[in-house]
């Protein structure tokens, strides 16, 4: 899972840049709408919505925007017709990629994804030809402050988690897909503040490339994530520490 974890760390460090570009509110609103549509508009009974709202508040999204997004998701206001679509593709050098999108215009989103892939040496794949290379797992992050890693590890296991990875600035916790909300509740009961919780696609195997080739693949992943409608990009790329250092200084 190292590639998944390291790319998550890179994206986390780039979060401030995303906010400056002004795109983050659009993505947050769509996440709120989708969560409200699938689980209802009450954050107290809808863990996915609660976490989406907390993320929006942390990004200083205005309260009116949050409430409007919830009402659009539940159908109380027009304009909440968003859907979740996952496209399958191959990045350069045969790296499998899943592109999760949240959109109100499927044709626009597909055209944008195709444009990036064609421009940067990737290609769309047939349905099912990439998804089998990934496992769907629950993915939870907790910002690392002064917690004892052993305490977090034990709390996660007691809550039902499958695995815990400790990074420099966050803990990453993996669960069975069906156990995600149960583990979130258990961690919160243990007094831990959840930073992010979602279903994630984790590669069964990772492919290691040379640094130049790795940077090329990371470039196409980042370009896809720049698209307004793209929510997450998952890949089977093994990312080296040298590639991370180069990406952070780029």
C-alpha 239/C-alpha 225 separation (Å) is: 17
pTM comes to 0.81
For the cut 60, the answer to whether the pLDDT of residue 26 exceeds it is yes
For the cut 60, the answer to whether the pLDDT of residue 18 exceeds it is no
| CA nearest neighbour of 84 among 27, 4, 138 | 27
pLDDT in tens, 172-190: 999 999 999 899 999 999 9
Query: For the purposes of burial, counting CB atoms within 10 Å of the CB of 124, is it exposed (0-12), middle (13-18) or buried (19 or more)?
Result: middle
64's enclosing H/E stretch is helix 63-74
For the cut 70, the answer to whether the pLDDT of residue 5 exceeds it is no
78 vs 156 pLDDT, higher one? 156
- Parallel/antiparallel/unpaired status of strands 163-166 and 170-176: antiparallel
| Alpha-carbon radius of gyration of the chain | 18
**Any idea what DSSP says for residue 178?**
G
Q: Which residues contact 22 (CB under 8 A, 6 or more apart)?
A: none
pLDDT in tens, 112-148: 999 999 999 999 999 999 999 999 999 999 988 888 8
For the cut 80, the answer to whether the pLDDT of residue 235 exceeds it is yes
For the cut 80, the answer to whether the pLDDT of residue 212 exceeds it is yes
Q: Which residues contact 191 (CB under 8 A, 6 or more apart)?
A: none
pLDDT of residue 136: 93
C-alpha 41/C-alpha 25 separation (Å) is: 19
C-alpha 224/C-alpha 87 separation (Å) is: 11
Q: Kindly list the structural domains of the chain, giving each domain's residue range(s) and its CATH number in brackets, ordered by start.
A: 83-132+204-248 (3.30.70.980)
């Amino acid at each position: 899972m190292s590639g998944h974890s390291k790319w998550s760390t890179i994206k986390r460090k780039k979060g401030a840049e995303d906010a400056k570009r002004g795109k983050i509110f659009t993505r947050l609103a769509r996440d709120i709408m989708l969560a409200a549509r699938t689980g209802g508009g009450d954050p107290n009974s809808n863990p996915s919505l609660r976490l989406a709202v907390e993320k929006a508040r942390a990004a200083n999204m205005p309260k009116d925007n949050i409430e409007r997004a919830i009402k659009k998701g539940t159908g109380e206001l027009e304009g909440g017709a968003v859907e979740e679509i996952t496209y399958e593709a191959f990045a350069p050098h045969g790296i499998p990629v899943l592109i999760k999108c949240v959109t109100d215009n499927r044709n626009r989103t597909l055209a944008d994804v195709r444009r990036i892939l064609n421009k940067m040496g990737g290609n769309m794949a047939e349905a099912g030809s990439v998804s089998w290379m990934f496992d769907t797992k629950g993915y939870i992050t907790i910002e690392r402050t002064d917690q004892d890693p052993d305490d977090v590890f034990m709390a996660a296991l007691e809550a039902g988690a499958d695995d815990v990875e400790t990074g420099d600035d966050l803990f990453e916790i993996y669960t069975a897909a069906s156990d995600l909300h149960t583990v979130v509740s258990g961690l919160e009961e243990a007094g831990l503040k959840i930073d992010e919780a979602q279903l994630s696609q984790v590669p069964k195997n990772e492919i290691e490339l040379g640094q130049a080739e790795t940077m090329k693949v990371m470039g196409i992943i980042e370009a896809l994530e720049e698209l307004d409608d793209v929510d997450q990009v998952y890949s089977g790329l093994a990312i080296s520490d040298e590639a991370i250092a180069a990406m952070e200084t780029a």
